[in-house]
């Protein structure tokens, strides 16, 4: 029987996506000229240029370094040193980070609140840079006040799916993994939780999650 519900944050409770910033940037003439000069490729759509940049320069593994505790300034400078020709859009990543953030996931506050009222213990486990979470996210969304505790990777120096971060959550708050379900939009992160006996649910949206909730809680 489930007694603990553990939530990821990004794309589950709150809406963060690199495309919110860079889709608009690569629609500009300045960005197109920079892209064509640096890659020698012409005729790509703005989305095509954006995808190339995010797949090759400001990548998910690079951002994960900051989620794991590396200072933003250090991570940014290291990438600029590696790709000086891309300095302007690289520095946008954290310089204009707030534009990648579009607030709460509609409907999730109400679902979490309902779980709270029904007596479930609620926890958070997220890969997130400490400084951006502490400044822009954690203090500004009521859904986080409903959680009984949380572990944010940037504070711990390790990230999902490393076994260590799941154990930090379980040990710190005395959570029984066999009575817990972890809600995340990333299958590799769910796989990491499963190795410790935590049940998992792949989040695809609030509406479907609400439909599946009673079944999940009966696991």
Same domain as 110, residue 94: no
- In 3-state terms the chain splits into helix, strand, coil percentages (rounded to 5) of 60, 15, 25
Last residue of a domain, one of 78, 101, 124: 101
Domain closes at, from 76, 101, 126: 101
pTM of the model: 0.93
- pLDDT per residue, tens digit, the chain (219 aa), is 899 999 999 999 999 999 999 999 999 999 999 999 999 999 999 999 999 999 999 999 999 999 999 999 999 999 999 999 999 999 999 999 999 999 899 999 999 999 999 999 999 999 999 999 999 898 889 999 999 999 999 999 999 999 999 999 999 999 999 999 999 999 999 999 999 999 999 999 999 999 999 999 999
Domain boundary among 38, 70, 101: 101
Q: Which residue shows structure tokens 């990543």?
A: 93
Q: What tokens does 114 get?
A: 């309902």
Per the rule left: phi > 0, alpha: psi between -120 and 50, beta: everything else, 174 is left
Q: Angle at CA 41, nearest 5°, toward 39 and 47?
A: 95
- Enumerate residues 6+ apart whose C-beta is below 8 A from 37: 85
Do 108 and 168 sit in the same domain of this protein? yes
């Amino acid at each position: 029987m489930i007694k603990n519900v553990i939530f990821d944050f990004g794309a589950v409770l709150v809406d963060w996506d690199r495309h919110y910033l860079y889709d608009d940037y690569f629609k500009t003439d300045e960005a197109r000229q920079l892209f064509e000069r640096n890659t020698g490729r012409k005729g790509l759509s703005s989305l095509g240029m954006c995808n190339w940049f995010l797949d090759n320069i400001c990548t998910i593994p690079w951002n994960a370094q900051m989620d794991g505790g590396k200072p933003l300034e250090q991570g940014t400078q290291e990438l600029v040193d590696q790709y000086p020709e891309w300095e302007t859009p690289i520095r946008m990543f954290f310089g204009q980070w707030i534009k990648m953030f579009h607030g709460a996931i509609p409907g999730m506050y109400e679902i979490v609140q309902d779980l709270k009222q029904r007596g479930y213990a609620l926890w958070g486990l997220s890969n997130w840079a400490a400084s951006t979470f502490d400044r822009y996210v954690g203090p500004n969304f009521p859904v986080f006040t409903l959680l009984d505790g949380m572990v944010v990777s940037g504070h711990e120096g390790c990230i999902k799916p490393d076994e260590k971060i799941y154990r930090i959550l379980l040990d710190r708050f005395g959570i029984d993994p066999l009575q817990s379900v972890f809600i995340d939009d990333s299958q590799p992160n769910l796989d990491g939780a499963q190795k410790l006996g935590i049940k998992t649910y792949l989040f695809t949206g609030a509406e479907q999650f609400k439909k599946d909730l009673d079944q999940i809680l009966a696991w």
